[in-house]
């Protein structure tokens, strides 16, 4: 691998920064050079947030437009807001959940409209409940899916599992791995 760029998009409070940090930690432990760029402060409170993770032979902390290999959207609308970062060959892991902004009277995209726009990329539409059930952690489940689909080429699952502080997260991550193994062909067909 020369370099790998992962953009995580979502809403402040969803654990976007935590997800970015875990990916960076896991690659760092394996000896890859990493940069993970976050925004804090006012931009976090329920607003649109993204985290840039760059791994490998990199110097700049921000991903270039059309430079991301993977876009993880923890909220579906946020995939649209960040789509210009994704390379033509990139893949989208989309949490199938739409959350309206806390502004009055705004038009909100339906999930079907979003997936229609995104259909020219490899898009994996993920239903968290299906992955982790009622008690699991949605974001960690999606991380498990992305691990199995991509990061497992470079890392072992233990590189991630040791970073989680509690069993719920470990179980959710493993559920994501199982989900990908079971569903990958089906998911790919819907792209």
Alpha helices per DSSP H over 70-110: 76-81
Q: Write the DSSP string, 130-170.
A: HHHTTTS-HHHHHHHHHHHHTGGGT--HHHHHTT-SSHHHH
How many CB atoms within 10 Å of residue 76? Answer: 24
x-marked contacts with another protein along 7-36 as a string, rule CB under 8 A: ----xxx-------x--xx--x----xxxx
Structure tokens at 167: 């069993």
x-marked contacts with another protein along 123-162 as a string, rule CB under 8 A: ----------------------------------------
Alpha helices per DSSP H over the chain: 16-29, 76-81, 111-117, 128-132, 138-149, 157-161, 167-189
> By CB under 8 A, is residue 43 in contact with another protein?
yes
**Nearer CB in complex with another protein: 37/183:** 37
Contact region for another protein (CB under 8 A) — 75-83, 124-132, 148-156, 183-191? 75-83
> By CB under 8 A, is residue 89 in contact with another protein?
no
Least separation in angstroms between CB 182 and another protein: 27
Least separation in angstroms between CB 94 and another protein: 15
């Amino acid at each position: 691998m020369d370099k790998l760029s992962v953009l995580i998009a979502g809403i402040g409070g969803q654990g976007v920064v935590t997800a970015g940090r875990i990916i960076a930690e896991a690659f760092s432990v394996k000896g890859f050079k990493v940069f993970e760029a976050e925004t804090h402060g006012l931009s976090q409170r329920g607003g649109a947030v993204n985290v840039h993770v760059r791994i490998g032979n990199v110097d700049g902390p921000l991903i270039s437009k059309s430079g991301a290999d993977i876009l993880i959207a923890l909220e579906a609308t946020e995939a649209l807001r960040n789509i210009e970062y994704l390379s033509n060959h990139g893949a989208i892991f989309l949490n199938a959940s739409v959350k309206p902004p806390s502004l009055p009277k705004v038009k909100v995209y339906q999930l079907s409209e979003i997936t229609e726009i995104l259909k020219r990329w490899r898009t994996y539409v993920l239903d968290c409940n299906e992955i982790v059930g009622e008690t699991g952690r949605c974001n960690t489940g999606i991380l498990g899916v992305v691990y199995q689909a991509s990061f497992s080429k470079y890392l072992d699952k233990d590189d991630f599992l040791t970073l989680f502080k509690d069993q719920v997260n470990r179980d959710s991550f493993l559920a994501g791995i199982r989900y990908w193994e079971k569903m990958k062909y089906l998911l790919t067909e819907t792209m």
